[in-house]
Amino acid sequence: MREAHQRWEADWSVERKRRLQMLSTLPGKYHHERFETLNRTIRLFSANGRELAKHLAQFIETPRHVDDLTDDFEHEAIRLFHNFIASVATLRDSQRTTHRKIWTERIHESERVGKDDLRTKWEVDFYKPKVDELLGDDDIKFLFDLRNCTLHHTVPLLSISTTFSHQPPAPPQWANTVKLKRAELDKFSGWSGPAKRFLRTCDKDVEFLALIDKYSMRAQEFYGWFWDQVKEAVKVEVDEYHAKSNELQLWLAEELILPEWKPTSSPSEPVAGSLFRNRARAHLERSAFGTSGWRKISVDSEGSAVIGESDWEALPAVGKYLRKPSLGD
């Protein structure tokens, strides 16, 4: 039989675990993480667009002839285009998941289209009108549908060409183009009405570079609007989480402060008085930040506001390296 032995843990470590557990239960923590997810999706979308544009710029508006390109150029262009289309859907899905978690009230049963209609009132009243305003054009709807084409039919094929024309007295014209092969797109039966209207405006293969630029600008504008809506809706909860989290980090920074070490001496020899000076600076920074009790306020039967006890009591004094024993294996 294994013998039990004592495990010692510093007071600050015990307190840190307790406070982190408290932070993990705050609604603001979920919203904070949701903001981070939104930021990751917009960065992913923007990076994919830049990488695609950078790759195509090696051919578009250059004197290179299509015959000078290797097969790798087309393969890489298709890969980057696929990544961009996928990130378009990821950005849209991330926003949809976010607003349905924050504004949860669903539309009335009489307004739903089938039992799987998950739309909310906020989505119908605010989100959808803004989508129609900025992202409702036929060509952008076509871009959305390309994701479904890629998923259910095939990755779009590219038409890469160089053309030369000369009609005197105009100077010679040299043009390098990269387009989507129309013949392959026409095999997909899942185009929406707006996408079909856009395709009817295209004589042959489909130009997409201008469309990507247009959508990228509109998507950034829409993202800014959406971010502001969410930020305003959850501001109180997020501010609480940030205040308490930052207060804990400043407390830990003061608690775990180290002295400065003499660069020309033994690493174990600290600069005289440096520990106290560093702790004083950390303490001043922490004091300037202050503390947040975030007391709960309720209303009694007479309509008067009642301030309850703080759910975030003052953090312990620092510098006490006492250790508490606990049993462990």
- Token pair 């809706």: residue: 233
Q: 187: helix, coil or strand?
A: coil
Which are the contacts of 304, defined by CB distance < 8 A and separation ≥ 6? Answer: none
pTM of the shown model:
0.81
pLDDT band at 311 (very low <50, low <70, confident <90, very high): confident
The upper half-sphere exposure of residue 284, i.e. CA atoms within 13 Å in the direction of its Cβ, equals 6
Percent of the chain with pLDDT over 90: 66
pLDDT in tens, 242-285: 999 999 999 999 999 888 888 766 667 888 888 889 989 999 99
Residue 5 parent element (H or E): strand 5-10
pLDDT band at 318 (very low <50, low <70, confident <90, very high): confident
- Cβ neighbours around 97 below 10 Å, total: 13
At 325 the pLDDT is 42
What Cα–Cα distance (Å) separates residue 144 from each residue in 72, 141, 229, 231? 27, 5, 23, 26
- Domains in the chain: boundaries: 57-233, 237-328
pLDDT in tens, 166-212: 677 777 778 899 999 999 999 999 999 999 999 999 988 999 999 99
Quote the mean pLDDT of the chain: 88
Per-residue H/E/C for 284-313: HHHHHHCCCCCCCEEECCCCCEEECCCCCC
Break the chain down into helix, strand, coil percent, rounded to 5: 55, 10, 30
Q: Is the pLDDT of residue 92 over 60?
A: yes
Q: Is the pLDDT of residue 56 over 70?
A: yes
Q: Is the pLDDT of residue 111 over 50?
A: yes
pLDDT band at 328 (very low <50, low <70, confident <90, very high): very low
Q: Is the pLDDT of residue 322 over 60?
A: no
pLDDT band at 119 (very low <50, low <70, confident <90, very high): very high
At 298 the pLDDT is 67
Angle at 146 between CA 190 and CA 120, to 5 degrees: 80
